[in-house]
């Protein structure tokens, strides 16, 4: 009898953890931005605005939590954990790493949405991995995670600023011409998020990149 119970205990504590179907269908979608009213709806906060629009369409609400605001979005059997870090852009890695660990989400299920000066306004480009391209948020995430093997969706904000005015431009609000098409480009970004979680990064890139 003692031998029997020893075998049971040995099996219970030594067996490998099995990943549940729910975990394999879970994604962390991170929109980068800065908290505070002075940063609201600026070019640098496009990640926040995209997730806010997705939440509004889905009729879900963000709740303040550790290192950021969180909302859970269900779509076609997938669970999307939407995260707006409260750590400010330059320290985004702390929030990303915490929520990956908490929700048991691996890097291949992580998507980070960022603004990009190198892309023409409204251009959307999804990549499965890559360099930080000078973006401090991506730089901090890479430093914290120890790698750059995660997907990122770059939203082009253009570079229409004079010498020495880059910070003012990035932290500035959209001009009148940009406002006319901003909603449409945000809608496409939301389609990319949904597609990323359902058909994968490669097919989504083929369907949406540069369109």
**Residues designated catalytic:** 44
CB neighbours of residue 184 within 10 Å: 10
In whole angstroms, give the CA distance from residue 122 to residue 59. Answer: 25
- How far is the C-alpha of 28 from the C-alpha of 71, rounded, in Å? 10
Residue keyed to tokens 């020893």: 6
Residue with tokens 């099995």: 18
> Can you tell me the distance from the alpha carbon of 209 to that of 200, in angstroms, rounded to the nearest whole number?
13
DSSP secondary structure of 8-48: HHHHHHHSPPPPPHHHHTEEEEEE----SGGGTTBGGGHHH
Residues 129, 151 contacting (CB under 8 angstroms): yes
Q: Give the containing element (helix H, strand E) for 156.
A: strand 151-156
Task: At 8, list the tokens.
Answer: 């049971």
Q: Are 75 and 196 in contact (CB under 8 A)?
A: no
């Amino acid at each position: 009898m003692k031998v029997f119970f020893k075998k049971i205990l040995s099996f219970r504590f030594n067996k490998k953890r099995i990943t549940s179907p729910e975990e394999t269908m879970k994604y962390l979608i991170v929109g980068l931005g800065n908290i505070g009213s002075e940063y609201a709806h600026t070019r640098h906060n496009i990640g926040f605005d995209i997730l806010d629009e997705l939440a509004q369409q889905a009729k879900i609400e963000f709740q303040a939590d550790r290192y950021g605001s969180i909302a859970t979005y269900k779509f076609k059997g997938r669970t999307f954990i939407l995260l707006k870090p409260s750590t400010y852009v330059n320290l985004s890695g702390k929030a990303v790493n915490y929520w990956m660990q908490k929700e048991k989400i691996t890097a291949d299920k992580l998507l980070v949405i960022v603004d990009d000066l190198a892309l023409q306004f409204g251009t959307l480009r999804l990549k499965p991995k890559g360099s930080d391209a000078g973006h401090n948020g991506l730089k901090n995430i890479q430093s914290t995670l120890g790698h750059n093997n995660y997907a990122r969706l770059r939203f082009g904000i253009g570079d229409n600023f004079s010498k020495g005015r880059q910070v003012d431009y990035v932290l500035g609000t959209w001009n009148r011409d940009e406002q006319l098409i901003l909603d449409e480009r945000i809608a496409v970004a939301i389609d990319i998020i949904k597609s990323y979680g359902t058909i994968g990064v490669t097919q989504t890139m083929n369907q949406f990149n540069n369109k």
